[in-house]
Amino acid sequence: MFATVAQLGPHAGREVTLRGWLYNLRSKGRIHFLLLRDGTGTCQCVVFAGDVTPEVFDTAGRLDQECSLEVTGQVREDARSPGGFELQVTALQVLGASADYPITKKEHGTDFLLRNRHLWVRSRLQHALLRIRAEVIAASQEWLNAQGFVRFDTPILTPCSAEGTTNLFSTSYFDLGPAYLAQTGQLYVEAGMMAFGKVYCFGPTFRAEKSKTRRHLTEFWMIEPEMAFADHEENLRVQESFLSAVVARVLDRRKEDLLTLSRDTAALERVTPPFPRITYDRAIELLNEHATELTDAMPPRWGEDLGAPHEVLLSRLHDKPLFVTHYPAAIKAFYMQPEPSRPEVARCADLLAPDGYGEVIGGSERIHDADLLERRIREHGLRVEDYGWYLDLRRYGTVIHSGFGMGIERAVAWIAGVHHIRETIPFPRMLDKIYP
RNA sequence: UCCCCGAUAGCUCAAUGGUAGAGCAUGCGGCUGUUAACCGCAGGGUUGUAGGUUCGAGUCCUACUCGGGGAGCCA
């Protein structure tokens, strides 16, 4: 009877067959200890010389790391096995050999591990991390679904730049000229919002930026909710509830993986609404007050965007994710609603994760007035004719609306507590790196 | 695009300008409870590329290539 490592408990005392890969082998004279992983967990399988034929015992002692195996034996409770149950082996069959597996038990360099990413994902820490990623994605979608949001998929191939100036990957689209890989689904999701009230899109987005930092990928996944009749305040409330719910679910269901990654879960327990909020104006003041703590950076002047060192410092002054609201309109996207009493700032917010993980969510109230939106498109040097359909959304039953986008990888990096974003996606795409 | 650091065995790293080393991995041998097990033996190298300085260069100098860290931009 086949079993999985995670479900061994009910089989205690009985004989089962596990199928998986050899994580590690330790031999001690007349005993071999096989660590078998099957994706659900890792189980220590013990081969005693007296329990099996000499041929099987010899085979067990020569197994290669990561060979695939079927192992049959009796399930026994034993604290010395990682999952609390071990298998006393009676039979064993190699399914696929694994000579010279490159990733060994000692340390490796980043470049080597990324070149072997297709194998690296089998390793313990990577396995825990990617499980957390899957949980973040599932939690995000299921929370939104439960709140009445409808998933509304947006195109990846797009005819023009959604936000203008940033670098896009381009390809040729038959004889219709260039097409671009989407850097956001936001404009399209606004069309969906007017059909369904509350929608979100979820998929890969692409930025051809020459960014070489621990927070950047050229291909990353983003979940972008958009809500009709929601203003800036409502937008922030949804964001803090959403992110808190995602964190709570990871704590509930993937605590073991967080511990595998040595994540301080107490810091995650604090992630509950409301989140602290400061305006951009206040952020500038704070940065000037703490200027001496800024290494290799000056406090920004009003009108300049916040840099990575600034975001790190601001987030360190708070023990929860931090909203920075009302950035100067001039440094934000063209579609953001100006604050009525101060049109030089936008009704927007960046949500900064603690510990220097940077902006995990960016959002805003959108301009709902057709004339203002058209003016902004022109002011940003964009072609109005490219945005005909987008302007239509304001011509046919416009409403106040808001939305935001969360970068999955940044959220996962912060929640899991891993330093570099490249490990939070199975196959990272970075500047100068596209293999495997 | 800019700044800093690096490149030596399959992998991770040592080596005052003076004979190229270790751990892991691999192969062989030993050990009845190991937790990246341990112990013994063995094989494994055009020191990133091209020039230069020197009696002598892994080590110093120049250029290039590749990689790592950071910045800008952004999620």
pLDDT in tens, A1-10: 999 999 999 9
pTM of the model: 0.93
- Residue A118 CA distance to nucleotide B57 C1' (Å): 40
Please tell me the distance from the alpha carbon of residue A425 to that of residue A222, in angstroms, as a whole number: 12
Classify residue A104 by burial, with Cβ atoms within 10 Å: 0-12, 13-18, 19+: exposed
* Residue spans per domain, chain A: 5-96, 117-424
**A54 is near strand B: CB distance < 7 Å:** no
CA A106 – C1' B15 distance (Å)? 22
Among A19-33, A169-183, A389-403, which stretch is predicted with the lowest mean pLDDT?
A169-183
The pLDDT value given to residue A13: 92
Percent helix / strand / coil, chain A, rounded to 5: 35, 30, 35
Single out the residue of A23, A119, A127 nearest to residue A418, CA to CA. A127
Helix, strand or coil, per DSSP, at residue A64 = coil
Query: What percent of chain A has a predicted confidence (pLDDT) above 70?
Result: 98
Which one has a higher pLDDT value, A143 or A319?
A143
Per-residue CB contacts under 7 A with strand B, chain A residues 220-279: 220, 222
Average pLDDT of span A167-190: 88
Distance A96 CA to B33 C1' (A): 28
Both tokens assigned to A26: 């330790």
Instruction: Quickly give A66 CA vs B30 C1' distance in Å.
Output: 25
| Nucleotide nearest A296, from its CA to each C1' | B71
The answer to whether the CB of A309 falls within 8 A of the CB of A295 is yes
**CA proximity to A86, closest of A16, A188, A179, A160:** A16
CATH code: domain A117-424 is 3.30.930.10
Give the model confidence (pLDDT) of A332-390 as tens digits.
Answer: 989 999 999 999 999 999 999 988 788 999 999 999 999 999 999 998 888 888 899 99
Nucleotide nearest to A209 (CA to C1'): B73
Residue range A5-96, CATH number: 2.40.50.140
CA distance between the termini of chain A:
37
Q: How far apart are CA A379 and CA A334, in angstroms?
A: 8
Nucleotides on chain B that have an atom closer than 7 A to a protein CB are: 1-2, 10-13, 23-28, 30-38, 66-75
> In this structure, what DSSP letter does residue A73 have?
E
